[in-house]
Amino acid sequence: MDYQKLANLLYKNIHTTPEYYYEKFPERNLAPKAEVTRIAPSPTGFFHTGTLFGSMIDKFVADKSNGVFFLRIEDTDQKRKIQGASDIAYQMLKKFNTSPDEGFMGEGKEQLGSYGSYVQSERLEIYHAFAKRLVELGRAFPCFCKQTEGKEDIKERRAKQLEELGSIIDHDPCRNLDIADIELNLKMGKPWALKLLSTGDPDKTFKFTDMIKGEREIHENTKDIVLVKSNGIPPYALAHIVDDTLMHVTTVVRGEEWWPSLSAHLELFRAFGLKPPKYAHTPVICKLDEKTGNKRKLSKRYDPEADTRWFVVEGYPTTALNEYLLNLLNSDFENWRKANPDAPYTDFPFSLKKVGSSNPMFDVVKINDISKNIVSKIPGKELLRFIVDWANEFDQDFAAVLLRNQDMAEKLFSLDRDGAQRPRKDISHASEVKELFGYMFDEYFDKTTSLNFDEKQPKESIVKLLTEYKKVYSETDDKQAWFEKLKEVATACGYADMKTYKANPEAYVGNIADASNIVRVAVTGRANTPDLCSLMQMLGKNRVLERIDYVVSNLK
Ligand code: GLU
For ligand 1, say whether the CB of 120 is within 6 Å of any of its atoms.
no
Same domain assignment for residues 453 and 408: no
For ligand 1, say whether the CB of 74 is within 6 Å of any of its atoms.
yes
Q: How far is the CA of 74 from the centre of ligand 1 (A)?
A: 7
d(CA 218, CA 206): 5
Q: Which residues contact 134 (CB under 8 A, 6 or more apart)?
A: 140, 194, 196, 227, 271, 272
Say what the pTM is.
Answer: 0.92
d(CA 370, CA 328): 12
pLDDT for residue 149: 59
Q: What is the CATH number of the domain that holds 506?
A: 1.10.10.350
**Mean pLDDT over each residue of the chain, to the nearest integer:** 94
Mutation probe of ligand 1 site: the residue of 88, 233, 254 with most atoms within 8 A of C-beta = 254
For ligand 1, say whether the CB of 76 is within 6 Å of any of its atoms.
no
Q: Is residue 323 part of a domain?
A: no
Same domain assignment for residues 276 and 386: no
Q: What is the CATH number of the domain that holds 271?
A: 3.40.50.620
Q: Strand 510-511 vs strand 495-496: parallel, antiparallel, or unpaired?
A: parallel
Helix (H, G, I), strand (E, B), or coil: what is residue 195? strand
Same domain assignment for residues 496 and 427: no
Strands (E), 378-423: none
Last-in-domain residue among 395, 423, 440:
440
* Residue 254 alpha carbon, nearest atom of ligand 1: 8
For ligand 1, say whether the CB of 42 is within 6 Å of any of its atoms.
yes
Mean per-residue pLDDT for 142-161? 74
Q: Given pLDDT bands bounded at 50, 70 and 90, which one contains residue 290?
A: confident
**CA-CA distances (angstroms) from residue 31 to 27, 39, 103?**
11, 21, 20
Q: Strand 251-255 vs strand 226-228: parallel, antiparallel, or unpaired?
A: unpaired
Residue 91: which of 101, 75, 105, 70 has the closest Cα?
Answer: 105
Q: Given pLDDT bands bounded at 50, 70 and 90, which one contains residue 423?
A: very high
pLDDT for residue 160: 75
SS3 content of the chain, % helix, strand, coil (to 5): 50, 10, 40
Mean per-residue pLDDT for 334-356? 95
Each residue's pLDDT tens digit, 14-70: 999 999 999 999 999 999 999 999 999 999 989 999 999 999 999 999 999 999 999
CA angle 51, 57, 62 (to 5 degrees): 125
For ligand 1, say whether the CB of 40 is within 6 Å of any of its atoms.
yes
Same domain assignment for residues 489 and 541: yes
Number of independent structural domains in the chain: 3
CA angle 313, 319, 323 (to 5 degrees): 120
Q: Given pLDDT bands bounded at 50, 70 and 90, which one contains residue 455?
A: confident
Query: Alpha helix (H) ranges present in 188-257?
Result: 236-246
Mean per-residue pLDDT for 106-128? 97
pLDDT for residue 318: 98
Residue 405 has pLDDT above 90, yes or no: yes
pLDDT for residue 148: 54
Helix (H, G, I), strand (E, B), or coil: what is residue 316? coil
pLDDT for residue 72: 98
Q: Given pLDDT bands bounded at 50, 70 and 90, which one contains residue 146?
A: low
d(CA 485, CA 512): 11
* Residue 240 alpha carbon, nearest atom of ligand 1: 9
For ligand 1, say whether the CB of 41 is within 6 Å of any of its atoms.
yes
Q: How far is the CA of 254 from the centre of ligand 1 (A)?
A: 6
pLDDT for residue 150: 66
- Lowest-pLDDT choice from 159-168, 197-206, 368-377, 454-463: 159-168
Q: Tell me which residue has its CA closest to atom 3 in ligand 1.
A: 41
Q: How far is the CA of 65 from the centre of ligand 1 (A)?
A: 23
Q: How far is the CA of 386 from the centre of ligand 1 (A)?
A: 34
Q: Is residue 195 part of a domain?
A: yes
Mean per-residue pLDDT for 521-540? 96
Q: Tell me which residue has its CA closest to atom 5 in ligand 1.
A: 40
Residue 153 has pLDDT above 80, yes or no: no
Residue 548: which of 531, 525, 532 has the closest Cα?
Answer: 525
Same domain assignment for residues 408 and 275: no
Residue 13 has pLDDT above 90, yes or no: yes
For ligand 1, say whether the CB of 38 is within 6 Å of any of its atoms.
no
Q: Which range of residues forms the domain containing residue 400?
A: 380-440
Percent residues over pLDDT 90 in the chain:
88
The residue among 72 and 419 whose pLDDT is bigger is 72
Last-in-domain residue among 421, 440, 459:
440
Q: Which residues contact 348 (CB under 8 A, 6 or more apart)?
A: 326, 330, 333, 336, 337
pLDDT for residue 108: 93
- Lowest-pLDDT choice from 169-178, 401-410, 473-482: 169-178
Q: What is the 3-state secondary structure (H, E, C) of 58-127?
A: HHHHHHHCCCEEEECECCCCCCCCCCCHHHHHHHHHHHCCCCCCEECCCCCCCCECCCCCCEHHHCHHHH
Each residue's pLDDT tens digit, 214-252: 999 999 999 999 999 999 999 999 999 999 999 999 999
Q: Is residue 317 part of a domain?
A: no
Q: Which residues contact 368 (CB under 8 A, 6 or more apart)?
A: 428, 429
